[in-house]
Structure 1
Amino acid sequence: MTAKASDKTVGILGGMGSESTAYFFLKVIKSTPARTDQDHLRIIVDNNSNIPDRTQAIFGMGESPVAEAQKTIHILENAGAELIAIPCNTMHYFYSELQNSTKIPILNMISETASHISNTFPDIKKIGLLATTGTLETRLYHKAINDIEILIPDDDLQKKVMNSIYGEQGIKAGYTFGSSRNEILEVINVLIDQGAEAVILGCSELSLLSIEEEVSVPLIHPSQVLADVVIKTARSDT
């Protein structure tokens, strides 16, 4: 499928974290029907690692990420981006502030994932959610998903999730095997035992673990959902 002149240029607001940004970019590439270089979308990536931590900001323990993220939005806008994707779940707590700072549409990963679940799993009654404490406390997915009971880890298990993401041997530090992987699998299995029929990996780092074959229920990757929506939206004539 050859790229068309009407294809929209995609901007990726990255850096949260850097490896998950690269993973998301690769997901867009791998999910695009293409046989030649020219079949792919034009994509501009700003991996802004200066954006402050989102969860710390939500809990009043750190600087707001909005101003730094807005800098990247304007960089992408000036570079020619016609739509923007943010492959970070927790950052969507600040979605309205970011969208209000630009006329370029910013795709909403949370609402797109909720739509994906509704369309793909119409009969599901209980779904597990693994995410940062910031995402859980702000209830981003709870507000977006209707008529499905969302199961989340208890406090002790949530500490394991956060350690798996942020710990010295966590995913953000480059560890996708060992204790970080084992702890995430433990938490997922607890949610499955509680009745989860699928599990949302609601932090982009979690998708780096590639644990599908070790889990007995479907895993939902918001980063993959967003990648698919990026392609569909960029190739839309509207």
Structure 2
Amino acid sequence: MAIQVHASDNMAQLTRKLIHNGEGKSLSTPTNVGDHTVTLGFGYTFIRRRADSKWMVIDNLKSDMARVGIALTNTQLDQLSEIAQALSNGSTQLADAEIAKFAASWTAPPLSEAQAEKLYEIELQAKQDAIKNRFSRILGKRDGEALFATLTHTREMAGLLSLAYNAESLIGPGLTRALWQGDRAEAWFQIRYDSNASTQPMDLRRGLAATLGSGVIRYQDRMLSGQRGSAPCSALVQHKVAGA
């Protein structure tokens, strides 16, 4: 049975608060926020990691930019492809240097708040679709869609969207199955310690804390734990944390 949820009439506002506070804002030029990629507005990223861990310029980048009045040139797209290739090759130093060159050559006018919000809405819809698709791949189409429907308009979905906005891979098999099985303590553990254990076994949340800030981390914990104070402290969680 899927997890018991907390319905929310203001899920959109909760999600916006989590993401805007966590991602910060860059309106003037694309920025490397320390994750070796290119970010504009409220965390809209130009380059993403694929399921096979290779990096690529997102397919809809040119059309998304056009929707906020920015026309990317072929030269800029080539620069972004070189950054993605450097990341795929594991050369973050080269990627960072190329990002600095890309930002220095940026000539588009600063985004307005409305334009940044438009990019945020585009990105958020993509993340909602990604969560639904990941649920379906992990649980099968019927159960995946059922879980997604259960979580729609809930505080739990706000927490999941904030995770997916940072990295879709954080919606992993362990977390998805815990949500489907109604195991809130295990879901909390997966969020805090084990979301992407196959590639990052060492307390992934420490890395997210550096990017998002501890206040946002605690708020995400509460979204998934279902509590307004501290996260659940079941025997399972105590045992797993002791061995983490």
TM-score by length of structure 1 reads: 0.27
Higher helix share: 2
TM-score by length of structure 2 reads: 0.27
Rg: which structure is higher? 2
